[in-house]
Amino acid sequence: MSRGVFITFEGPEGSGKSTHLRRLTERLRAAGRSVVVTREPGGTPVGEALRGLLQHDTVSEAPVPRAEALLFCASRAQLVERTIAPALARGDWVLCDRFADSTFAYQGYGRGFDLATLEAINRFATGDLRPDLTILLDIEADAGRRRLAARQAGAGETADRFEREAAAFHERLRRGFLSLAAAAPTRFLVIDSGRDEETVAAEVWTGVMSRCAEPPRKE
């Protein structure tokens, strides 16, 4: 059996990742594909416990930036070994809400850690597993934050540690994601997510079909 297809969704807060990941999953399943859906940080019991530490201050102190970077990678190591690699070996499609590019964007461009160091930690965590396709849902930082605030107000949720960061942090993230995409154009598909949901969903589908119908190229 051939290896499955590994697709990640990336983007700033409020870029619509979860919506479009769900829509793509439904469409792939309707087309008869076996799809595993997961997320980062999280996706495994260990990862979900780390997610609590990383986002919602479930203990009495926030992780320092170096610990934060390592905890994201620890969650990823668990997810790759327990969920992603076995699913790909079975020939499934794996759709993951965030992956290594979020570490490069948030801890690299956002917090200021050296990208080469983050690459090395990430390679250790993942065994150098890379997505076949990364869909970057790009949205202006302000527009994304407005969308997120509206959704959270409707759902009665509060902002997490990252969402509370200053506007300049979110601007660096967006530019960071775009730089990562520019450096790996055959892996990334950048989609303007500031448009209506139907248009974006149609572009995601067309992109996935054109990039993943053939055996994916590596970068």
Cα–Cα distance measured from residue 86 to residue 176, given in angstroms and rounded to the nearest whole number: 31
Among 162, 169, 171, 207, binds ligand TMP (CB under 6 A): 162
Residue 33 or 37: the one with the smaller Cβ distance to ligand TMP is: 37
Q: State which residue, 41 or 131, has the beta carbon closest to ligand TMP.
A: 41
Round to whole Å and give the CA distance between 184 and 199. 24
CB of 134 to ligand TMP, least distance (A): 13
Q: How far are the Cα atoms of 63, 64, 156, 160 from residue 57, in angstroms, in the given order?
A: 9, 12, 18, 9
CA distance 94 to 36: 5
Nearer to ligand TMP, 91 or 142 (CB): 142
Structure letter (DSSP) for residue 6: E
| Site for ligand TMP contains 106 (CB under 6 A) | yes
| By the rule CB under 6 A, 40 interacts with ligand TMP | yes
Q: What are phi and psi of 129, to 5 degrees?
A: -70, 130
Handedness of CA 7, 13, 15, 19 (dihedral sign): positive
Least distance CB 32 / ligand TMP (angstroms): 28
Q: Does 193 bind ligand TMP (CB under 6 A)?
A: no
Q: Does 126 bind ligand TMP (CB under 6 A)?
A: no
Residue whose pair of structure tokens reads 């690459």 in the numeric block: 119
How many chain residues bind ligand TMP (CB under 6 A)? 11
Binding footprint of ligand TMP on the chain (CB under 6 A): 39-41, 55, 72, 98, 102-103, 106-107, 162
